[in-house]
Structure 1
Amino acid sequence: GDGTLHLMSISKRKKGTKPTYEDLMGLFHQKPLEPLEYEMRPIDEAEYEEVMLDSVEGGSIVAAIFGIIKGMVGPAVLYLPRGFALSGFAVAIPAMIIATITYVYSATRLLQCWKAESDKICLSMEKMEEIRLLLDPNAGEYGGSAPYGSVENGQKSSNNKMLTYPELARRAFGKASFLISGGIAAMQFGVCLTYLIFVPQNLFEATKTLFGVEVPKQIFLVFMLAVEIPLCWVRDIRKLTPINILATALIAFGLVSVLAIALFDPDANLDNSGSEYNSFEEDLSGLFQQITQLPRIQPTWGLFIGTSFFCFEGSITLIVPLQEAVYKREDRKRFPYVNQKVISSIVFFYVFFSIICWASFGDSVQTALTASLPKGVLTTMVQFAYSIAVIFTFPLQAFPALEVVCQTTETKAGKRKISENTSILKRNIVASIIIWLLGGVAIIAIDYLGNVVSLLGSLVGIPIALVYPPLIHNTLVPESSRTTKLLNYIVSIVGFFGAIAASYTTIASWDEGAEG
């Protein structure tokens, strides 16, 4: 519908049918000395149903690039100007550079793990196919599974088990991989928590401008929970595609509008000169002067360490599936390089965006950037647009984390079979409880969005991006050089202690990040 290619893993399974009494009795009356007669018949498609095992966007390298952009560019970019203001550009810019370098390093290591495991699977499948054809030369004529990892010329590169970040962790660490799966789920729930704080702040400012009434933020939060809980009951994520497209368009509109307001400030460009060109020139000149006067270092600079990693929004979890989904073999080889270029370009835009907005809106800029915009029609439109976009993004962000939690609870409950309706009801109850719990935390932290962002980036974002990928690489790619393994350990250790230090700094200076 939106022009995005979708690569899905679809298998066929026999629909359940009960054998008749005659069928069962026939098993005991077979004449062993007579040759068995049978006839080959085409598969009746009515006997089979399609089951989606995994799905990931991709297909071409262009689609993969859009997947990277869509996975990384979200509301988190609006949190950065406040982070720059709290830290100073002499800290913020180097922090963003270091975060980007280490992020790209870890992403590259994960892609190398993917290649190693993908090659193993490909070799194993080729061996199994040879054995299968030796045993039954006609086996290839009948139904079976179609691997999602197929590439050009019908060559298979994977099996029905999608190679993802958690799957690579499982292959590397076994049962201990629950730390990675749990961390990824915590990061996704954390992003959802920031949404529950961000939207009420936006709607508070928008309604105050439109109607002159200050509606408590908690009211908007309860309204948002009432909308999000039913949306999170949706089990087929493909049904959320239309609202995902709308959310993407609204986020793009919001980003462009915020940058335009910061650069040109339409509501302030009214002077008595009567010259629109002079006004534009004066705006840029004044903005440049403000940039040169920005403070280098602020006392609260420690809060930005976690923020610099949160801005990636856990998008490292998408890198491996996007690599897997690229169709052409030469594009698969190019993907790691393309990923580095795209990520670097996005971060460059983030730095540019943050400095421009910080200089334009001043040190009082809020973490929810749209709440700091000058009053006006365009500002109100942006606030409503971003609020709607975030409301629609919430269920998509929460979906993978909810699946992890629900699968875990089912495993803990044992092997007892339950009906489909009971399973759906149980999932909906779990989802509702989690969303309400997030809402409770949001009420407590309603004026501490910047601190929440920093703590999530420190406590969860840094381990996901720095600590685990190098260790996974050392396990799954044992033939790596000693230098590579040593560098992996260094990055992992630095990430571990960095996460502890940044988390402690955020908690210790919690009151300094208060807003509102």
Structure 2
Amino acid sequence: MSHQRQELSLDTERTPLIETEINAGFDQENSCSREHQLRFEENTNEKDILYEIHTASGGHVNVRNGEIPDDVPRNTTTNTECLMHLLKGNTGVGILALPVAYKNGGLWLSLGFVTVIGMICTHCMHVLIRSGNELQRRNKGMHLDYASVMEAAFETRTDWLKNWSNFARRMVNTFLVTTQLGFCCTYIVFIAENIKQVIEYSAPVLLDTKLYIVMVTALLIPYSMVRSLKILAPFSAIANLLNLAGFVLIMVNLWQNIPDIRTRKSIAEVQNLPLFFGQVLFAFEGIGLVLPLYKKMKDQDAFLGKVGVLNLGLTLVIVLDNAVGFYGYLKYGEDTRGSITLNLPNDQWYNLCAKLFFAVSVFLSYAVQFYVPVEIIWHYTKKRSKSRQISIPFYAEYILRLVLVLLTCGLSALVPHLDLLIALIGACESSFLALILPAVIEITTFDCKKNVKIKNGIFIILGLVGCVTGTYSSLLEIIKTF
């Protein structure tokens, strides 16, 4: 496979997730998988590229020398592969919590609102790509991720907003760090609650959920010390297979003995709607993935458009979200729990398998999600120490990883309720990443017409109202729980 490439110096201040791989244990001759062995120009060695992986916050590339061609993530993915990545990035723990979101919103209100929010999030993904393309043109082909798009949108202006470019980038990275750590918290609670149900059914052992959280964390500590994405890649592939098998088993359960639709509320109580808003937004947390996927496609024209990969992928996501949410709430009604797996009866082997499949899958996915905040924080730490001429010992990163794992454990034990955690993270974090920031980027990047400004204003107001009310309601419910 041969591709024409241009080398350019990439400022790691702009893209902290593109970082130098210092694990010396790799064989240089085999450090790239065959599909990533790209032919560079003379100034860039193909062995410099170690691995590329996709997480919920975007695609990240590890390199040796800190310099990367602008199209490293480009021209290697087919339309079908891109569609699979898009589906994977938008179907995680959030989709399993949509039945409880339906309970908080009501059957028919939820069906309409999930569809509308899904369409808005899809539009915001289009906005992010169009803005990224325009800003990339202004920056003469420099590769841009979510944080860099936000920074470039401010930096290329000629008014007072130009002075806020560094703040804009740091704001996005802050949201990425807190969101990913929030994901890790929900992962720990999810694993603990599902394993608890399986063990209690199999043996007369009654332990508090917090003890399971501590035990899960003890297993996650050595796993989270893995610094190489290349090593984590096979675990991610196994998690994908377990997710697929788990979804099939869940739908088998939901489609059996379905009650009458009239037994469920069409519209829930008004006080529950802010929780519903946060839980729905949590399920559409794949906006950071679209830029690297778009850059990586062989046929980029096929990604956008009315019948493009993005619209097709998000349409499938909306259908899957509504299917799990609708039938999950229809089946279990007011007894619906924070994850649909927790409602599955334990007296059938395939329900126990579904719980174990998802528990193992989420456990294997933890280290990949954990990689993002570690890289952002570690990059900032190295930069600060370099500016102050302070030497950092080699084990400092492992200490950082340990502290962050224990932090997620502590937060999980503090609020061991999956539905409330998801509502809080969705309202407080996802409202910015999925709604507010794309609207700000479009207004800042383009000379928008009046109707576009009104549209973006509506998105910003919707995001802010949802953020404030959802965060307040989530915190209030958490306080009531204790």
State the TM-score, normalizing by the size of structure 1.
Answer: 0.74
Alpha-carbon distance in 1 for matches of 2:117, 2:180: 19
Distance 1:252 1:116, change over 3 A: same
- The aligned amino acid for 1:170 is E
Give CA-to-partner distance per residue, 1:128-176, whole Å, 9 cap, x none: xxxxxxxxxxxxxxxxxxxxxxxxxxxxxx34xx311111012123111
Instruction: Report which stretch shifted further, 469-478 or 64-73.
Output: 469-478
Distance 1:114 1:417, change over 3 A: same
| Corresponding residue for residue 233 of structure 1 | 225
| Corresponding residue for residue 166 of structure 2 | 175
| Corresponding residue for residue 296 of structure 1 | 266
Q: Is the 8 A contact 1:81 1:369 kept in 2?
A: yes
| Corresponding residue for residue 311 of structure 2 | 340
Alpha-carbon distance in 1 for matches of 2:355, 2:459: 40
Q: Is the 8 A contact 1:7 1:59 kept in 2?
A: no
| Corresponding residue for residue 132 of structure 1 | none
| Corresponding residue for residue 72 of structure 1 | 90
| Corresponding residue for residue 444 of structure 1 | 414
Give CA-to-partner distance per residue, 1:26-81, whole Å, 9 cap, x none: xxxxxxxxxxxxxxxxxxxxxxx776849658522222111101111112211111
Alpha-carbon distance in 1 for matches of 2:232, 2:199: 28
Shift of 1:502: 2.0
Distance 1:380 1:425, change over 3 A: same
Shift of 1:507: 2.4
Q: Is the 8 A contact 2:94 2:279 kept in 1?
A: no
| Corresponding residue for residue 378 of structure 2 | 406
Distance 1:335 1:176, change over 3 A: farther
**Count of residue correspondences:** 416
Distance 1:451 1:167, change over 3 A: same
Distance 1:496 1:232, change over 3 A: same
Alpha-carbon distance in 1 for matches of 2:273, 2:459: 22
Shift of 1:333: 5.1
- The aligned amino acid for 1:99 is I
Q: Secondary structure of the equivalent of 1:384?
A: helix
- The aligned amino acid for 2:99 is P
1:259 to 247, 251, 276: 251
| 2:109 is the counterpart of 1:109 | no
| 2:321 is the counterpart of 1:321 | no
- The aligned amino acid for 1:395 is A
Q: Secondary structure of the equivalent of 1:493?
A: helix
Alpha-carbon distance in 1 for matches of 2:150, 2:218: 36
| Corresponding residue for residue 461 of structure 1 | 430
| 2:472 is the counterpart of 1:504 | yes
Distance 1:403 1:468, change over 3 A: same
Alpha-carbon distance in 1 for matches of 2:304, 2:254: 40
Q: Secondary structure of the equivalent of 1:362?
A: helix
Q: Secondary structure of the equivalent of 1:234?
A: coil
Alpha-carbon distance in 2 for matches of 1:246, 1:293: 39
Matches within 5 A, 1:195-210: 195-210=187-202
| 2:62 is the counterpart of 1:81 | no
Distance 1:212 1:72, change over 3 A: same
Q: Percent identity?
A: 18
Gaps of 5+ in 2: 1-29, 48-63, 155-164
Give CA-to-partner distance per residue, 1:301-322, whole Å, 9 cap, x none: 331010010012x310011111
Shift of 1:414: 3.8
Alpha-carbon distance in 2 for matches of 1:491, 1:503: 18
Alpha-carbon distance in 1 for matches of 2:37, 2:456: 32
- The aligned amino acid for 2:149 is L
Shift of 1:362: 3.3
Alpha-carbon distance in 1 for matches of 2:39, 2:478: 46
Q: Secondary structure of the equivalent of 2:44?
A: strand
| 2:277 is the counterpart of 1:305 | yes
Matches within 5 A, 1:28-47: none
Alpha-carbon distance in 1 for matches of 2:83, 2:305: 11
| Corresponding residue for residue 147 of structure 1 | none
Instruction: Report which stretch shifted further, 242-251 or 88-97.
Output: 88-97
Distance 1:192 1:209, change over 3 A: same
What is the alpha-carbon root mean square deviation over aligned residues?
2.9
Alpha-carbon distance in 2 for matches of 1:98, 1:4: 41
State the TM-score, normalizing by the size of structure 2.
Answer: 0.79
| Corresponding residue for residue 360 of structure 1 | 331
| 2:368 is the counterpart of 1:396 | yes
| Corresponding residue for residue 136 of structure 2 | 118
1:192 to 180, 184, 190: 184
| Corresponding residue for residue 56 of structure 2 | none
| Corresponding residue for residue 12 of structure 1 | 44
Alpha-carbon distance in 2 for matches of 1:87, 1:481: 35
Shift of 1:505: 2.4
- The aligned amino acid for 2:278 is G
Gaps of 5+ in 1: 16-48, 125-157, 265-282
Give CA-to-partner distance per residue, 1:216-271, whole Å, 9 cap, x none: 3233222221222222222221211110000111111111101101213xxxxxxx
Distance 1:333 1:344, change over 3 A: closer
Q: Is the 8 A contact 2:305 2:311 kept in 1?
A: no
Alpha-carbon distance in 2 for matches of 1:95, 1:511: 27
Distance 1:436 1:243, change over 3 A: same
